[in-house]
Amino acid sequence: MKSQYWIILVVIVLLIGIGVGALFTPKAPTFTVKGAEINSVNLSAIGLSFIIEVDSSYPVAIPIKTLTYTVSYQGRDGPIQLASGEKKGIMIKPGKDELVIPVLVSNPSIVKSAFEVLRTGEIRLIINGSATPDFLGVAPAVPFSKEVAVPVKLGDISGDIISSVGSLAGSLLSTK
């Protein structure tokens, strides 16, 4: 009779433990595209970076298995993919954190957007992707997506292009 009480007590304690554990299990982190900025422009490529804000309720830093992304230009005829990629080996800290993802766009499609950029002074980008955090073997993919308007300073672009042309001309003249 006494052993039945112990078994019942152990089962009750286990059920309470599972219930409490389920209540305090943290939810998956959220990934939100905060913005983007152009870092450099030359005749063959545009360097930009986009910022992802991460909000993790986990009490410890957790690794990201993969973070995949695509960057598209919102053109008149619809989105034109400019770049895509995958990052690995990222650790996200507990609480709020920011990830800065650098991207080099060397795509002829960007030339199509040049006139629109000159007219408006900004480029509209669509950033899509997903992050797959790995916490105790559980790895749910968390999607993110946002359209951002990135301001483009025409003086900076013309200065970068003139500098690129000057470097190219200098290297051509010095080889003769």
Say how many CA atoms lie within 13 Å of 9 toward its Cβ: 6
pLDDT of residue 10: 83
Which mean pLDDT values do the consecutive 10-residue runs of the chain (176 residues) have? Answer: 78 78 66 86 79 86 89 79 88 90 76 64 86 76 87 57 44 45
Residue 30 CA to residue 28 CA, distance in Å, equals 7
pTM above 0.75, yes or no: no
pLDDT of residue 158: 46
pLDDT of residue 53: 93
Region for residue 119 given its phi and psi (left: phi exceeds 0; alpha: psi -120 to 50; beta: otherwise): alpha
Question: ∠ CA(44), CA(45), CA(50), 5° rounding?
Answer: 175
pLDDT of residue 105: 80
Domains and CATH numbers, the chain: 25-137+146-151 (2.60.40.1820)
pLDDT of residue 69: 93
3-state DSSP helix/strand/coil % of the chain, to nearest 5: 30, 50, 20
Instruction: Report CA 6 to chain centroid distance, whole Å.
Output: 53
